[in-house]
Amino acid sequence: MNGISALAVKNLIRNRKAVLLSSVGIIFGITSFVFFVSLGNGIKSVVFGKILAQLPVNIIEVTPKSSTIGIFSFGGISSSNIEDSTAEAISSINGVKGVYKEVVLDIPIQARGEFYSRRIVTDLAATGIDTEIVKDDIRKDFRFEYNEDGPIPVIVSKHLLELYNSNIAQAMKLPRLTPDAIIGFRFKLVVGKSYLAGTKDSSKVKEYECQLVGFSDKAILLGITIPIEYVRKFKKDIDGTGEINKYKKLYVLASGSQMVPEITSEITAMGLEIDKTRKTIGGVISIATLFLGMLSILIVALSAINISNTFALLVYERRREIGILRAVGATKGNIRYMIFFEASVAGLINGLTGVFAGYLFIRLTDYFAKSRIPDFPYKPDTFFEPNLYIFLVAIAFSVLFCAIGALLPSIRASRIDPAKAITM
C-alpha cells in the first residue's frame, strides 16, 4: 500500500462515524438486493424443479384456441376441441415424428375402494391418452396398455400426491404417502354412474377393477388418466359408438429440437395454441425479481447522494490538510485518487456488511417459515437460493455507487489552491 492509500485508510478510520451514518442506505439497499434476488431464484427453482416438471425439449403441447371476449381470454374454459382432421394435418408437417392424443372421458364415473380401513366413494374426472407418450412414467413391472382380462391401468398427476400429503392426509389424519408406497393400489371404477348424473339405462352401468401404475405430469390434475382405448370401449358400451374424433390436447413429437420453432409456427397458423405455461410463469417470476432487484439498486443509488454530501463536507473540513499535501508535492491526480480510494474502501465495507446482513435475514426468514408456516403443496426446504454471483454483484454495486458519490467531492478537492488553503 503506497503512502496515499495508507493516508486514505487513516482518514476513513478517523471519519468513520460520518461515513457510517451516510452508508446506512447503501447497506440497506445491498441487504434488500441479496434478499429479493435470492428469493426470486428460490421461487423459480421450486416452480420449475417441482411444480412444472420439464417436458422433453422436442415435445410440443397443442391445445384448442382460447375463448375470448373483448380483451379477456378464457383459455381454461374453452369448450372447443381439436378435430381428427387437424391431428392428421399436424402429423404431415415436416419434422413431426408422432402425434399423441388426449381425450376427455365425458361419461359419468365413480371410484370406490378401501383406503386405510376407510371406505371411499367419490365421483371422478378422467382422460384417455395414447400410451406411447407416457411410457417412461410407468413403473417397472407394470404396463399401461389396453387389456380386456386384467385391471385397467391408471396414472395420476404427481401434483395430486403432493396435494394429498400436504392437505388431505393431515385433515383426515391419514399417513403421508410416497410414490412407491401407493403404486399397485387397486380400486373399483363404476362407469355410467355418479352422484351427479348417470345413464338412462342402468343395465349399461358396469364396474371395473383399476390399478395405479405410475405418476405423470401428462395426467389430469384432479382425476385419473387411462389408455385411450378404454375411453373408446366405455363410449361404445354407454353410447353405442366407440368413435373418437375430437381431442382435448395433442402432444407433438418433433424429430429434433431444432425443428420445434418451425413446427410451432405451422401449428399456430392453423389457429391452435402452444402451451406456454412454463414460459409465462418463468417470465412473471423473472420480471418480479428484476423489479425488486432494481428497487434495491435504486435505494443504493439514492444513498450515493448521502455519500456525496458526506465526502463534500469532509473535503471542506480537510481543505487545509489537502492544501499541505499539494504543497509538499501531491498532484491533483493523487488527491482524486485518495478520495476515490476512501469511497471505494467504504463501498467494499458497506457491500460486505450488506451481503452478510442479507444472508442472515435469509436464514432468519427460512427458520420462521419452517417453524411457523403450515405445510402446503410443494412447500420447499428453503425459499431462497443465494449464490456467490449474487454476493459479488451486490458488492460491486456498493463499490460503484460509493465511488460515483465521491466523484464531485474528489474533483473539488483536487482544485483546492494550496496557498489559500494553508493560510486559512
- Check: CB of residue 380 under 8 Å from CB of residue 42: yes
Q: Which residue has the higher pLDDT, 321 or 101?
A: 101
pLDDT tens for each residue of 134-193: 888 898 889 999 988 889 999 998 888 888 887 777 777 788 888 888 899 999 999 988
This prediction's pTM: 0.57
* pLDDT score, position 129: 93
Rounded CA-CA distance 248/104 in Å is 6
Q: Is 329 left (phi over 0), alpha (psi -120 to 50) or beta?
A: left
Strand, coil or helix: what is 8? helix
- Which pLDDT score is estimated for 355? 92
35, containing H or E segment: helix 24-46
Residue 226, pLDDT > 90, answer: yes
**Chain segment 10-52, per-residue pLDDT in tens:** 766 776 776 777 777 888 888 888 888 888 888 777 766 655 5
Alpha helices in 209-331 (DSSP H): 228-239, 260-269, 277-317, 319-327
The pLDDT tens digits of the residues spanning 56-93 come to 567 888 888 765 444 444 444 444 788 888 888 999 99
Contact 84, 114 (CB under 8 A): no
The owner of cell 365421483 is 123
In the chain, domain spans = 3-52+281-423, 65-271
